[in-house]
């Protein structure tokens, strides 16, 4: 069984698992056909905890809040997570993070906090993958300069980077995917093909190549999974890319219209 590693989130001192478990696929199949119901969702969360994954991502838009409710139910159900339950019950929060916004907005919020002696953000959760790198220009540079950890969502571009072009899946055919999975523009197709090429060369999964690339750039990616097997595959310790391979994957990228925020 693979085990995870932990990385410090910027200068905060907080350690997060690599990867972070994304809970977008946990909730109710009534919301979308690719979303898992309670029993398999709890099973995956238990497997993640047993593997050492201690960082979960959720949002109230996932299955209209059902994802959040399932995570709360999991916390209450596991004796080994009693310490986390106590923290939730106490109402105390140790760190705060922000998600998907313009760099100037993020900087302004932290500046206001600094001037008033308030708690500043320690992390930025933004969309980032080999197929969407728009935050590299300003946001990631700002975060690096200020010691803010980056924990991006959709590192596999809604699964597009996890399988050869043309592969049909329930998620790809769904209108509720996190990114427009069917749309490959500019150098996207070339990038996906190169991910497939390197996966064959290194005898691993395509998604592991994409996650290894993201992992070399940020603190830890948020990975959504729909099975224990996919969970285990998201742990990519031992799969490393050379500088030449990193460049090979990045070179075809073409700028895209910024999305996900105003």
CA–CA separation, 135 and 158 (whole Å): 18
Catalytic residue list: 62
Instruction: Return contacts of 188-197, CB within 8 angstroms, 24+ apart.
Output: 188/131, 188/160, 188/252, 189/165, 190/252, 191/130, 191/131, 191/161, 191/249, 191/252, 191/253, 192/131, 192/160, 192/161, 192/164, 192/165, 193/165, 194/248, 194/249, 194/252, 195/130, 195/161, 195/249, 196/164
Instruction: Give the Cα separation of 55 and 15 in Å (integer).
Output: 9
CA distance 218 to 144: 9
Question: 228 with 44: CB under 8 angstroms?
Answer: yes
Which residue, among 143, 113, 111, 146, has the nearest Cα to 128 in the 3D structure?
Answer: 143
For the beta carbon of residue 112, count every other beta carbon within 10 angstroms.
11
Q: What are phi and psi for residue 146, nearest 5 degrees?
A: -100, 10
């Amino acid at each position: 069984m693979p085990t995870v590693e932990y990385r410090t989130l910027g200068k905060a001192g907080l350690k997060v698992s690599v990867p972070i478990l994304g809970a977008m696929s946990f909730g109710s199949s009534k919301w979308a056909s690719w979303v898992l119901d309670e029993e398999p969702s709890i099973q995956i969360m238990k497997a993640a905890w047993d593997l050492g994954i201690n960082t979960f991502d959720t949002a109230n838009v996932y299955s209209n809040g059902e994802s959040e409710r399932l995570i709360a139910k999991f916390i209450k159900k596991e004796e080994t997570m009693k310490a986390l339950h106590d923290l939730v019950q106490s109402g105390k929060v140790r760190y705060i993070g922000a998600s998907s916004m313009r760099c100037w907005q993020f900087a302004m919020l932290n500046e206001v906090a600094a001037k008033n002696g308030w708690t500043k953000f320690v992390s930025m959760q933004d969309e980032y993958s080999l197929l969407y790198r728009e935050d590299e220009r300003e946001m990631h540079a700002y975060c690096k300069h200020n010691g803010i950890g980056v924990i991006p969502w959709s590192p596999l571009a809604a699964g597009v980077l996890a399988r050869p072009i043309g592969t049909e899946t329930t998620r790809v055919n769904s209108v509720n995917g996190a990114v427009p999975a069917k749309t490959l523009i500019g150098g996207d197709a070339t990038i996906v093909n190169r991910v497939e090429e390197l996966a064959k060369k290194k005898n691993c999964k395509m998604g592991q190549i994409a996650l290894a690339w993201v992992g070399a750039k940020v603190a830890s990616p948020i990975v959504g999974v729909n099975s224990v097997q996919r969970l285990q595959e998201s742990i990519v310790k031992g799969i490393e890319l050379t500088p030449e391979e990193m460049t090979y994957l990045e070179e075809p990228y073409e700028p895209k219209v910024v999305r996900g925020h105003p």
